[in-house]
Amino acid sequence: MSERRISRRGLLGAAATVPAAAGLHALVTGRGFGGEPALAGGPNGHGEPGAAGHQGHDGFAHATFAPGRSVDHRANGFDPSELLRDFDYGKTRRLASGRVLREWQIVAQDKEIEVAPGVKYEAWTYNGRVPGPTLRAREGEKLRVRFVNASEHPHTMHFHGIHAAQMDGMPGIGEASGGGQVEPGKSFAYEFDADPFGLHLYHCHVAPLAAHISRGLYGAFVIDPKRGRPDADEMVMVMSGFDTNFDLSNEVYAVNAIGFHYVNEPIRVKRDELVRIYLVNALEFDPINSFHVHANFFQHYPTGTSLEPSELTDTVVQGQGQRGILEMKFPFDGDYMFHAHVSEFAELGWTGFFRVGNPSGMTAAAAAAYCKLPWGGNGGAA
Amino acid sequence: MEAAAQAERAPRGRLPAWALGLIPLGLIALAIAAFALLGGPGLGERTGPPVEEVSVERTVLRPGTIELTLRNDGPDPVGIAQVAVNDAYVPFTASEGLEIGRLGSTRLDVSYPWIEGEAYAISVLTSSGGTIEAEIPVAAETPEADLGFYGLMALLGIYVGVIPVSLGMLWLPFLRRLGRRWIGGLIAFTVGLLAFLAIDTAIEGLEIAAGAPGAFGGANLVFLGALVAYLGLAGVDAYLSRRDERRPQAAIPSGAYLALLVAVGIGLHNLGEGLAIGSAYATGALALGAFLVIGFAIHNTTEGLAIVAPLRGVDGGTERPAAARLVGLGLVAGAPAILGAWIGAASFNPSMAALLFGVGVGAIGRVIVQIAPQMRDGSGRLLNPTAVGGMLCGIAVLYATGLLVSV
């Protein structure tokens, strides 16, 4: 049917209309610039202090999930707002040699999580959360990660870093010493030194690789330089997606797993305070991902392996497995969007907001009125 | 004999016939009840995840809104979670809630600033993460179904149905002047036209059925519709001829009767044609070009010829039919296009459309069977050279004029 409709339209597009029908036809199509009424609502609407995020404005501020439903973080067992600043330092003790030994226990578990409001997904997780815990150590420490596989599938933890082959979490390598592929019910302790400093990641390396990673088996791995970095409001953002219908492309994109989460609950930061973002790309199926912040620029430290930034920019592109540290300050109060500059990803969930201070100190009522103005809702930066 | 039959019907000491008929039914009901109460013993849990089969029955575009009517075609309920248009999540509301039961439907009102002339891919994300895809090849506002719109559809039906068919019937005086030897060829020409229409209608019906929910039958509906129409018309025919049994000429159908049959068959075909035009117009996929209307007119004028051919063929043109009868025949054949356009534009439903197209096929098939015997030549051969030539001409004419309406 549809083919035929298109072909007929194509044939007749340039033809004259029948006089008797023309009047009515014109009447019908005259209203037909479908976008207009909705666009009149316009690019409005960020910066409604104290209100429930950025949904619910008329028209099209930006893409969003359907209003009225939200992800049940309690049922999921993790909340992206808490994940954001949750760094797992593990347990430490000093060895006889004087070195610090830092230890973690990570359990692989199969778990159904809500990846978008109303959408359940059979995830594979490290410690029941996606992304897995952000493991954080200091350069030169001795690290031991005890990995327990409580999933129904074989998994590993493959760390990006410098280590011996049998500690690589690579099936087929180091099996003799209990390494390699960790079967369900088995465990293995990965031991290596924290080297080099920077921002790394870990993920499962069992084949099929894309399936194991995209199910949720990834996390950030931070090694601080010996002298540390300047004080900052630090946060981790792991970019990823979910292929909920298993067609080898993602239906939902996000930072820290839940799409549009930081739209509904903007990340609150202080004006003029240094913000440091540990940005990791764990996305599967799409070769590149990106991060862009509005109305600001940041210093970019690729892989975090240098203390000197490589570039002052507002957009950074990352391939699969790439990561970098971003540092910026917000000089104005207000709401500032950040999102993948791959617009498709942004509109499929990978969008959020920073909320700096209390935007212009407006009362909720004043802000609501302000948002209704045609030019309103820029966050009241003043 | 009668006594024996009675004895067989109610043998002494045995159950009456009606009870014997009811016992299996009762047992089936009992078995089903027990099976349901026990939760299907021995079958255990279902294997695999729930099956999600949802078809998009109707797409309506209004300013800033895309309305999708979804029908759950599968065995399990389906939960609607999110909607993305052209790879962007968008707000929406569901008229009948987010959960669609088996064979249930819901309408999603999706807020989206669509632009006329652009193409849209809509992806509905279900609660299990599955996706239901809908496509809008060319966006255009769906006309409001108000009085003016129905007027326009009526006008369209008159343009493509009533007027051309009536014009075609004006060939009757010409046909009357033709010699007797043309009669068989003329009937064969009509048969050729009808055969083409039957094939065309069947293919169009199957195309529509491809987009219809399988649970309602899908392509089966076309065949069922054809069978029902064929049998229905055959039944009516048998009933009428039995009633007229006493009349000696009843063995040979009159020209007027055959003309009515042809008109009914063509009318049912035009119902489908109107349906296709109406729904295409409603979805904005059809521009009302003069070229299209002229194309349909020429195409359908030949249908008028098919109606009047039996009048000349059988009665030899001696009997002059009343003008009112001719007008009536024209309306029977052409007016269904109006009805079809209304239905197609107001509430297009692929399952119903497939069934109606099937009815058209069956009706035309029945008409062909009815009038084909008139093609026989003196020696009684059906596929004589005149008949074959006539049929091929009929097919060729509709094929050629058909080029004007479908490319």
ipTM: 0.77
pLDDT at residue A230 in the model: 96
Say how far apart CA B395 and CA B190 lie, in whole Å: 9
Is residue B275 pLDDT above 50, yes or no? yes
Mutate to test the interface with A, among B59, B125, B133, B158 (most CBs of A within 10 A): B125
End-to-end CA distance of chain A: 56
- Cβ-Cβ contacts under 8 Å, B132 against chain A: none
Say how far apart CA A49 and CA A364 lie, in whole Å: 6
- Cβ-Cβ contacts under 8 Å, A34 against chain B: 61-64, 113-116, 139, 141
Beta-carbon separation of A120 and B128 below 8 A: yes
Q: CB burial class (10 A; 0-12, 13-18, 19+) of residue B255?
A: buried
Which member of A2, A24, A116 has the closest CB to residue B125?
Answer: A116
- Cβ-Cβ contacts under 8 Å, B98 against chain A: 118
Å from A56 to nearest chain B CA? 9
pLDDT at residue B168 in the model: 85
pLDDT at residue A23 in the model: 32
Most confident of A4-8, A326-330, B204-208: A326-330
**pLDDT-above-70 percentage for chain A:** 77
Is residue B97 pLDDT above 70, yes or no? yes
Rounded mean pLDDT of B155-181? Answer: 83
Most confident of A360-374, B236-250, B345-359: B345-359
**Quick one: pLDDT band at residue A13, thresholds 50, 70, 90?**
very low
Question: Where is pLDDT greater, at A222 or A33?
Answer: A222
Q: Specify whether the CB–CB gap between A226 and A270 falls below 8 A.
A: no
pLDDT at residue A120 in the model: 94
Comparing A103-117, B112-126, B228-242, the range with the smallest average pLDDT is B228-242
Residues of chain A numbered 2-41 and touching chain B (CB < 8 Å): 2, 4-13, 15-18, 20-22, 24-25, 27-29, 31-39
Q: Specify whether the CB–CB gap between A88 and A222 falls below 8 A.
A: no
**Quick one: pLDDT band at residue A317, thresholds 50, 70, 90?**
very high
**Quick one: pLDDT band at residue B375, thresholds 50, 70, 90?**
confident
- Cβ-Cβ contacts under 8 Å, B113 against chain A: 34-35, 38-39, 59-60
SS3 A160: coil
Q: Give the nearest chain A residue to B117 (CA atoms).
A: A33
Is residue B240 pLDDT above 70, yes or no? yes
Which member of A6, A10, A24 has the closest CB to residue B148?
Answer: A24
Question: Where is pLDDT greater, at B50 or A252?
Answer: A252
A248–B contact, CB cutoff 8 A: no
pLDDT at residue B305 in the model: 82
Which phi and psi (to 5°) does residue A355 adopt?
A: -115, 110
Rounded mean pLDDT of A332-357? Answer: 94
Is residue A235 pLDDT above 90, yes or no? yes
Å from A34 to nearest chain B CA? 4
Is residue B199 pLDDT above 60, yes or no? yes
Rounded mean pLDDT of B298-321? Answer: 72
**Nearest C-alpha neighbor of A63 from the set B87, B126, B81, B123:** B87
Kindly report, residue by residue over A36-85, the tens digit of the pLDDT. Answer: 222 222 233 333 333 333 433 344 567 788 888 899 999 999 999 999 99
Superfamily of domain B54-136: Immunoglobulins (2.60.40.10)
A278–B contact, CB cutoff 8 A: no
Kindly report, residue by residue over A166-222, the tens digit of the pLDDT. Answer: 999 999 998 888 789 999 999 999 999 999 999 999 999 999 999 999 999 999 999
Mutate to test the interface with B, among A6, A9, A252 (most CBs of B within 10 A): A9
Is residue A162 pLDDT above 60, yes or no? yes
Is residue B188 pLDDT above 80, yes or no? yes
**Quick one: pLDDT band at residue A159, thresholds 50, 70, 90?**
very high
Is residue B148 pLDDT above 50, yes or no? yes
Query: A43: which 2 tokens?
Result: 């690019």
Beta-carbon separation of B91 and A67 below 8 A: yes
pLDDT at residue A30 in the model: 29
Beta-carbon separation of B82 and A119 below 8 A: yes
Say how far apart CA A4 and CA B115 lie, in whole Å: 22
Question: Where is pLDDT greater, at A67 or A366?
Answer: A67
A117–B contact, CB cutoff 8 A: yes
Which member of A12, A120, A247 has the closest CB to residue B292?
Answer: A12
Kindly report, residue by residue over B324-364, the tens digit of the pLDDT. Answer: 888 888 899 989 988 988 888 777 778 888 888 898 889 88
Query: B277: which 2 tokens?
Result: 């035009």
Comparing A129-133, B31-35, B240-244, B273-277, the range with the smallest average pLDDT is B240-244
Rounded mean pLDDT of B69-77? Answer: 88
pLDDT at residue B407 in the model: 40
The Cα-based distances of A224 to A84, A278, A327, B96, B182 in angstroms read: 17, 11, 15, 54, 100
Question: Where is pLDDT greater, at A366 or B159?
Answer: B159
Rounded mean pLDDT of B221-228? Answer: 92
Kindly report, residue by residue over A270-312, the tens digit of the pLDDT. Answer: 999 999 999 999 999 999 999 999 999 999 999 999 999 999 9
Q: Are strands A274-281 and A233-242 parallel, antiparallel or unpaired?
A: parallel
- Cβ-Cβ contacts under 8 Å, B89 against chain A: 63-66, 116, 259-260, 347-349
Q: Where are the domains of chain B?
A: 54-136, 147-402
pLDDT at residue A287 in the model: 95
- Computed over every residue of chain B, the mean pLDDT equals 82
A350–B contact, CB cutoff 8 A: no
**Quick one: pLDDT band at residue A339, thresholds 50, 70, 90?**
very high
Give the CA angle between residues B335, B168, A20 to the nearest 5°. 55
**Quick one: pLDDT band at residue A374, thresholds 50, 70, 90?**
very low
pLDDT at residue A4 in the model: 32
pLDDT at residue B352 in the model: 84
Q: Give the nearest chain B residue to A30 (CA atoms).
A: B141
pLDDT at residue A104 in the model: 98
Domains of chain A with CATH codes: 73-372 (2.60.40.420)
Q: With residue A142 as reference, give the H or E element that holds it.
A: strand A142-149
Query: B366: which 2 tokens?
Result: 């029945």
**Quick one: pLDDT band at residue B403, thresholds 50, 70, 90?**
confident
* Residue B317 DSSP class: T
Query: A79: which 2 tokens?
Result: 């909340």
